[in-house]
Chains A and B, each alone.
Chain A
Amino acid sequence: MIAQIERPALQPGLPAAELEKLLVERFTLVRDPRDQWDLTLIAPSHRIAEIAAFLRDDPRLRFDMLLDISGVDYLSYPNHRGARLAVVYNFKSTVLRHRVRLKIEVEEDALEVPTVSALFRIANWQERETFDQYGIIFVGHPNLKRLLNHHEFVGHPLRKDYPCQKRQKLSVNDPLIDQLEARLTAKGYQVLDRGQENKAAPIAFGVSPAGTSASQGAGGTVTTIDRPYAGSPAAQAQAQTPSAGNEGKQA
């Protein structure tokens, strides 16, 4: 059935100046001088989940869509001062006509960033991609596995010090059974027996703290992926407060 309906007028959003004023006053953010075209605000990384929730829920803003999460490595950027890595969150509203980007700076030796995967479903995969490419660890992420690269891949290819011609030998397919079990558990199923065809030992996915080549085996820091890197202060803090986001909430 086809029907012509009148389009409800899209609400004009806040102009960039007002948007900036509101957010800067509320969270003491700084405007990113690198973005001369649109509005990018630099946020303190430990408050990103709180700011993202405010952006999503505030009636004046209603940034209900997280378009993308992307990492940047400023290692070879000319005259760059500040943290080596950055994560850019790209927000858009489906109710109001405005957009904003948030940027957080991540130091190479403190890669932990709070996850926003409990706020936006798509953040789960976007954070996995950023982890894969830059080694940024999203604390509280339910399944921080590589997304684009093979699970045996070592290193983080979009970092500027990863050689572009480097080759790695990758062999075994990801059995995915751990993910499927987690999915079933989240839906209220209890796995009694994995079954003959899935008996193969599950692969332990390692998170390397600094994105160095010591991803698996070396150093003895391999942890299962539902938890952040075990040695980090964030992990210890998180061990005391159970994480808010898991895929079960999304079912």
Chain B
Amino acid sequence: MKVKAPNGETLDLMTLNLGPSHPATHGTLRLFTAIDGENVVGAVCEMGFLHRGFEKMVEQGTYSQVLPYTDRLNYCSAMINNIAFCKAVEKMFRIEVPERCIVLRVVLMELSRIIDHMVCVCTNLVDLGALTNFWYFFNVREQVYKIWEKLCGARLTNTVTRIGGMYRDTYPGFEQDVTDVLKNIEKAIGEVRGLIEHNKIFIQRTKDICAVSADDAISWGWTGPCLRASGVDRDIRKDEPYYGYENYQFDTVIGTTGDTFDRIMVRIFEMIESISITRQALAKLKPGPVNTADARLSLPPRNQVYHDMEALINSFKLVYDGVRPPAGECYDYVEAANGELGFLITSDGGTNPYRIKVRPPCLTQWAAFGPMLEGHMVADLASALGSINILAGELDR
């Protein structure tokens, strides 16, 4: 396409389409760019290729039936989605889950955050040609999936929580497994840091690439690691603590310039903080019930169901109708691996959710991607795209 540049020069731009199926997009995303030689002059993004109508589907079933769908939002850290959704419904009931459940959820969330950041960082590095890091991280990620498998039978899409508690308590030896895997994670992070931190090629490929200023990031609605990479010190775990995060010792990791380097490094150092939180949480994990005793949410014990009429009815109603949150509209959020994951639930007092709106953290990053890319080179496209960690499952819902 022929254009006249602002400086009066006539340019012959090439239009280049990337995606929706392209290895560098790690999903189904489409980008349409106008390039001048190697430089991106204009870029626009399209989404919706993985749109499956999550918000319409969830209106058809009960609250418990929403849970497996939430797994498919951010499938790299499915447990955080499960927990976020259950936490939102529990907020509607105004109940607190038991202490053991809270601590267990913290352990699962932090481990999920670690493996989510791992996928983001190492696939990002693969896009830059650094394949070795991929094996280091996927090796330990596999060990975490082994724990998930032992915990609930599923690896990727866990559905590990229930509204009012957990699917079940941990297996014997869970603490030991997590302790062991944390050591391996620490080692893997050390190895990856050794490979990239002072690596000239890595630094040249990522430093000052696609930098986003703090003001821009806020106006784009960024949350999570990408916002912190731009130097904004916001973390829901610190600012509006839930699940006792105020009792854990950890630092918020922030970047300075908000370039690709910062976004990768913030994730790496956040993993280290998450390891520390997981260790502290494991030390707090005391025996006890994992499900709330509230009869509106939890199934009664089996022996009661067989001998007690009320318990039998309760069990029936919970299995067939599920939970019935009070009518109203409630928003609840957690700090997911990618940023603020929120659920705005509208309930009409019935068994099915009237409306659930997901606030997907990566939509804001994908919306900003086109403008962010302009002025940089085509080769930076892949590394910048990896660093904002777009997950099509969550983006398109």
Contact = CB atoms under 8 A, between A and B. Distances in A.
Contacts of B46: 174, 176
Contact of A164 (B17, B47, B60, B342): B60
Interface of A: 2, 4, 7-8, 10, 32, 34-38, 40, 64-68, 70, 72-73, 77-78, 88, 90, 92, 94, 97, 101, 120-122, 124-125, 133, 146-150, 157-158, 162, 164, 174, 176-177, 179-180, 183-184, 187-195, 197-198, 250-251
Contact of B32 (A35, A36, A90, A179): A179
A93 B374 CA distance: 28
Contacts of B326: 36
A101 B357 CA distance: 14
28 contacts: A4-B251, A10-B233, A36-B326, A68-B342, A68-B344, A70-B357, A72-B346, A73-B355, A78-B348, A121-B367, A121-B368, A122-B367, A124-B367, A147-B47, A148-B47, A149-B51, A164-B59, A176-B17, A176-B32, A177-B15, A180-B33, A180-B34, A183-B44, A188-B5, A189-B3, A190-B3, A192-B2, A192-B3
Given A189-B5, A195-B2, A67 B42 contact: no
| Secondary structure class of chain A's binding surface, majority of residues | loop
A216 B59 CA distance: 28
B98 interface: no
A10 B239 contact: yes
Contact of A192 (B4, B329, B364): B4
Contacts of B355: 72-73, 158
Interface string B198-241: 00000000000000000010111101000000001110001110
B344 A70 contact: yes
Contacts of B118: none
Contacts of A198: 1, 15
B47 A187 contact: no
A147 B221 contact: no
Interface in B1-18: 1-6, 10, 13, 15, 17
B91 A191 contact: no
A42 B233 CA distance: 31
A34 B368 CA distance: 33
Contact of A64 (B91, B218, B370): B218
Contacts of A8: 233
Given A120-B219, A164-B56, A195-B2, A90 B331 contact: yes
Contacts of A122: 219-221, 364, 367-368
Given A7-B252, A70-B357, A164-B59, 11 more contacts: A38-B331, A67-B359, A68-B357, A94-B232, A101-B331, A121-B216, A121-B221, A124-B367, A133-B55, A180-B33, A250-B371
Given A158-B56, A164-B60, A97 B239 contact: yes
Contacts of B374: 187
B294 to A, nearest CB: 17
B92 A37 contact: yes
Interface string B369-397: 01100100000000000000000000011
B221 A148 contact: no
Contacts of B359: 67-68, 70, 90
Interface string B326-366: 11111100000000101010101110001101010001100
Given A187-B6, A195-B2, A65 B47 contact: no
A11 B5 CA distance: 45
B277 interface: no
Contacts of A146: 48
Contacts of B223: 65, 67
A88 B342 CA distance: 14
